[in-house]
Amino acid sequence: MNDCGCEKAKRALEDYLRDELGSDLRAEIERHLEGCTECSTEAHIHTVITGVVRRSCDGEAAPDELRERVRRALRATSH
């Protein structure tokens, strides 16, 4: 297990994807995502879920079930 700032990156991820981070933190997260497969996968999952949700239920939070389905689908394709 590596302690490369994953917790911080994951906490900041949603704000990052909504483009709500300050430029310093944004740069830090971008650097982390480039070097961390786990977090960049997580970011990709968030992006996909957000896209799916925007299309299907107009910005409401993704239901856990949908989130889990997308997560599994992406895991399956990335291995």
Q: How far apart (Å, rounded) are the C-alpha atoms in residues 36 and 3?
A: 11
12 contributes a contact to Zn ion by CB under 5 A: no
Tokens read off for 17: 């994807």
Helices 23-35 and 6-17: crossing angle in degrees, nearest 10, is 120
Q: How far apart (Å, rounded) are the C-alpha atoms in residues 54 and 56?
A: 6
Degrees (nearest 5) of the Cα angle 54, 57, 63? 95
Residue from 13, 36, 43, 49 in contact with Zn ion (CB under 5 A): 36
CB of 14 to Zn ion, least distance (A): 15
Nearer to Zn ion, 9 or 53 (CB): 9
Nearer to Zn ion, 9 or 49 (CB): 9
Residue from 13, 21, 29, 39 in contact with Zn ion (CB under 5 A): 39
Nearer to Zn ion, 36 or 70 (CB): 36
Which residues form the interface with Zn ion (CB under 5 A)?
6, 9, 36, 39
